[in-house]
A and B are shown apart, each in its own frame.
Chain A
Amino acid sequence: QQPVQSPQAVILREGEDAVINCSSSKALYSVHWYRQKHGEAPVFLMILLKGGEQKGHEKISASFNEKKQQSSLYLTASQLSYSGTYFCGTEVQGNTPLVFGKGTRLSVIA
């Protein structure tokens, strides 16, 4: 069962912030975040394990609320290079296949 991502799409101006959400109806072991640019393969951003851990990568960070089975990806001071489609992938047990959401298309304009 695919996790639900919101919003489906967002347009930002350079320097603005954005939040992308991912929620699941199942108890999760981990949440993965990937970014895919047009015509390219998805690229790993970060993993969050259950426990409410928050991680960061450049100006992109994420959190995982284990009780709500929700994860949020935070993009601060967005740059043109942040444009792409962001996917969350969820895992109910360690080393089980990732199930991905439908993606959030992020467009950053000058």
Chain B
Amino acid sequence: DAGITQSPRHKVTETGTPVTLRCHQTENHRYMYWYRQDPGHGLRLIHYSYGVKDTDKGEVSDGYSVSRSKTEDFLLTLESATSSQTSVYFCAIRGLGEAFFGQGTRLTVV
């Protein structure tokens, strides 16, 4: 199994609070991605990274920011959480071929 870990696995937070999700890899892969998964929408790309300090927006990036200061860590921040950001968040890593997904973070904004 690819070495990819997401933390936390579950989180409940209040509307308006900032939240940071962490993705950590031990594979030294260049590419890292954050997706959100919602019923009826599949997996939608939030942000992605091509390398350290090299990030770009995906299709649903509003309200989210990311940082990648080290190859192994990719952080996703919800600047001010809203109920519409209640979702399951998956991090993925990729070398030259397939993508490997973390186990997901279930985030509930109340």
Q: Which A residues are within 8 Å of any B CB, using their own CB?
A: 2, 32, 34, 40-44, 47, 87, 89, 95, 97-103
- Contact of A103 with B42 at beta-carbon distance under 8 Å, contacts A41-B90, A97-B33, A97-B48 already known: yes
The interface on chain B, measured as residues whose beta carbon lies within 8 A of the other chain's beta carbons, has a size of 24
Q: 8 closest Cβ contacts across the A-B interface?
A: A102-B42, A41-B101, A44-B98, A100-B43, A103-B42, A97-B48, A100-B42, A42-B101
Report how far A43 CA is from B101 CA in the complex, Å.
7
Main secondary structure of the interface of B (DSSP, over half): strand
B103: A residues at CB distance < 8 A: 40-41
In the complex, whether B70 has a CB less than 8 A from a CB of chain A is no
Using A41-B90, A42-B90 as known contacts, say yes or no to A32 and B98 having CB atoms under 8 A apart. Answer: yes
CB neighbors of A among B68-106 (8 A): 90, 92, 94, 96-104
B45, A44: Cβ atoms closer than 8 Å: no
